[in-house]
Amino acid sequence: MSSISVYDSHTMDINKYPRLNYKITDIVLITLYMNLTELKKIIECYTQAYHHHNECKDYYFYFEFFIDDHNKLSHTYNAKQIIQIMKEIEFQIRSNHHQPENVTLFLKRQNPLHIILFYYLKNKEFFEKCIQELEKAKLFHTQGKSFTTKFTTPFDFYRLNQSNMYNALELFEIFTYSQYLLKNKIKKHLPFPKYI
C-alpha cells in the first residue's frame, strides 16, 4: 500500500508528509492531530474546573501524560488544585520575568506534571484554534471554498519556531496521515514543555 485514501476518490502518497520545507510544522501538526482526544480533555478541564468551582460542586480531572510508550505521569486533580496551579505558577513567572534564572529554578522545584498541565492550559487558546482550524478546513473543503491558515509552532513547547501557511486540503491530508499512523500503531506523544 503506497497511498492512502483521504476522502472519496482523493488519495495521497504515503510518503508525502512530512515535507522537506515544512518538516517541523508538519511533524507538530501530525503530533497534535494524533492526540486530539487528549488535547480536548485538557482544554475542557480548565473550563470545567472554573465552572464547578464557581458552582461549589466537585470536579475531578484525571491527567495522564505519556513520557514514552511504557512510562507515564498521572494525577487526579480537583477544581481547586487546577485553579491554584494556574494562579501560583503564573504569579511566579510574572513576578520573576526579569530574572529568568529564578523562574527556571522555581519550575525545576515543582511537580513536573503540574508544570506540564500549566503549559497546556496556558496554551489552550492555541490548541483550541488548531482544532477549530481543522474543522473549518474539513467544512470549507467539502463546500468547495478556499481556506488558508497560518500555523506557528507553539513557543512553550519547541525551541525551533517555524510557521507555514496551510490550505484546507493540506490540513485534511495531514489529519488523515496522522490517523493512518495511529491505525498502524505508530504514535508520537504530546510534547513536553521546553522548560522541563
> What would the mean pLDDT of 18-28 be, rounded to a whole number?
91
The Cα 50–Cα 134 span in angstroms is: 27
pLDDT band at 10 (very low <50, low <70, confident <90, very high): confident
* Domain regions of the chain by residue span: 3-183
Structure confidence by residue, pLDDT tens digits, 110-157? 999 999 999 999 999 999 999 999 999 989 988 989 999 999 999 999
Q: How far apart are CA 179 and CA 1, in angstroms?
A: 15
Evaluate the CA torsion angle 87, 128, 25, 28 in order and state its sign. Answer: positive
Model confidence pTM above 0.75: yes
pLDDT at 8: 75
Instruction: Provide the pLDDT for residue 28.
Output: 96
The pLDDT, as a whole number, for residue 196 is 84
> For 115-132, what is the HEC assignment?
HHHHHHHHCHHHHHHHHH
